[in-house]
Amino acid sequence: MTVKTTDETETTVGPTTIPQTSTHGSGTTTAQLEWNYNEILNKSILFYEIQRSGRLPANNRIPWRGDSALNDGQDVGHDLSGGWYDAGDHVKFGLPMALATTTLLYGLIEFEQAYRDAGQYDIMLDSVKWSLDYMLKCHTIPGQQFFGQVGDGHVDHSNWGRPEDMTMERPSFQVNTTCGGSEVAGETAAAMAAGSIAFRAVDSAYADTLLTNSRQLYTFANTYRRTYHECIPNVLEFYRSWSGYMDELLWSAAWLYRATNDAQYLTAARSHYQSGHNTEYSWDNKWVGGYLLMWQLTGEEQYSRDFQGFMNRWLPGGGITYTPGGLAWHQRWGVLRYNAHTCFLGLVAAKLGLNEGAYRIWAAGQIDYILGDNPRGSSYVCGFGNNPPVRPHHSSTSCPPRPATCGWDDFHSPDPNPHTLWGALVGGPDENDAFQDLRNDYVKNEVTTEYNSGFQSAIAGLKYFENRPLP
């Protein structure tokens, strides 16, 4: 067996220490590999701390980050500070942020022991609470008004620099009973329901608050059905809803049933259910997550069959194209995020006893590719492994330490980003396994909070199975 481990020298970052890695050996296609999953979980959580907006806490572990966007929501008379910046930019897009939160919480709920064993459980609760707290702020009128975006994507993308230095106006965009937004309200309801489960044992009052808001947002999403980009047109070029809102209604109703055991939500989920959506799990499309969760909650064959149909499409011979190096290649924009999401869902199914051997082996192989077992022998996770990306499309890490200014000259610089974007999964290679570490390549070399959510949850799943033999 070829063993990949890491030499760990410690670099102090704030009040914590971060392992600085170098990976031995080159990638192979036949060996069983071992990785330091504890380290990866730690670094992925750090990525979410790098993405934090608002007033940072006293225990901030990212010394070059400071308070930012403290006036968000001022234009509408609400405090909408907080949350996560979406990607390499500084917009707070509600739909992908909510999906990232739901996915991270799903992983925490299913693989809690992995987080505990890695020493990351309490840190992870703190991580997801950052986005949940922000979503609670955005729900300004119970069941009637929700702010689904802060920041103008066009204006934001015309600037390059630190979030701490932003001076542009950051408008707040809402959905309400006059102009609804079922996708963003529904996904936020799902995130809050999942959050109520994760926090139930440690903070029951907070869990109750999340659950109350989840119920209200689900009712709002279901009652005032409308595609959210019709009411937040600024999001159209960035996170347009292609799949519609029925998947979010299924997803949120199923999560509410899991959180409450209230039969009305199971009845609602059944009414929203549609078979035949077997392409992907993503910020836009939650159908297959709904298939898995409905099977998990009911054990009914239809849901298992639909989920297995999705997984069969991704496994070799099922329809998904594979690169010469063995990567299941769904589409060019952020290809690795689709793999990671699918790996995570497969590992949840494996834990529940569904095709455990096949799903575990496939997921481990795809994650191996991401971590460095690929034709380039290189990691696609910043700050981890061999030859990771050092020029990700990410504005704040591209900026030199203060008091130096930061702008488009830093975007065009050929030098590595001055700050390490710990734990961030980049978009990934093309269909021929080719990749260039270019800051201007937002298709292959950008990062997002959505990308890392499935990746981190898949790592937690692999950590969970680490010492469990295959069936």
Q: Does residue 4 lie within any of the structural domains? A: no
Q: Does residue 218 lie within any of the structural domains? A: yes
Residue 387 in tokens: 């030859």
Domain enclosing residue 430, as ranges? 9-465
Cα radius of gyration rounded to whole Å, the chain: 21
CA dist 111 and 96 (Å) reads 22
Residue 10 has a CB neighbour count (10 Å cut-off) of 10
**C-alpha pair distances (Å), 144 with each of 75, 217, 260, 283:** 19, 8, 22, 23
Here the CATH number for the domain that contains residue 248 is 1.50.10.10
Q: Does residue 2 lie within any of the structural domains? A: no
- Using 70 as the pLDDT threshold, list the residues of the chain that sit under it: 1-32
Residue 67 is among the residues annotated as catalytic for this protein = no
Q: Does residue 470 lie within any of the structural domains? A: no
Residue 56 has a CB neighbour count (10 Å cut-off) of 16
The model's pTM = 0.94
Residue 463 in tokens: 């950590």
The torsion angle over the Cα atoms of residues 280, 281, 285 and 289, rounded to 10 degrees, is 120
Q: Does residue 1 lie within any of the structural domains? A: no
For residue 219, the one-letter residue type is T
Q: Is 12 helix (H, G, I), strand (E, B) or coil?
A: strand
Choosing from 110, 306, 368, 446, the catalytic residue is: 446
Number of structural domains, the chain?
1
Residue 446 is among the residues annotated as catalytic for this protein = yes
Residue 187 in tokens: 């996904």
Contact, 240 vs 279, CB < 8 A?
Answer: no
- Residues of 302-339 as b/e, b for ≥16 C-beta within 10 angstroms? ebbebbbbbbebbbeeeebeebebbbbbbeeebbbbbb
**C-alpha pair distances (Å), 297 with each of 11, 15, 269, 306:** 44, 41, 11, 14
Identify the CA nearest to 72 among candidates 153, 137, 158, 136: 137
Alpha helices in 28-90 (DSSP H): 37-50
Residue 263 has a CB neighbour count (10 Å cut-off) of 9
For residue 262, the one-letter residue type is D
Residue 145 in tokens: 């008004």
CA dist 182 and 225 (Å) reads 6
Choosing from 437, 441, 450, 466, the catalytic residue is: 437
Q: Does residue 113 lie within any of the structural domains? A: yes
In this prediction, residue 32 carries a pLDDT of 52
Q: Does residue 471 lie within any of the structural domains? A: no
In this prediction, residue 34 carries a pLDDT of 86
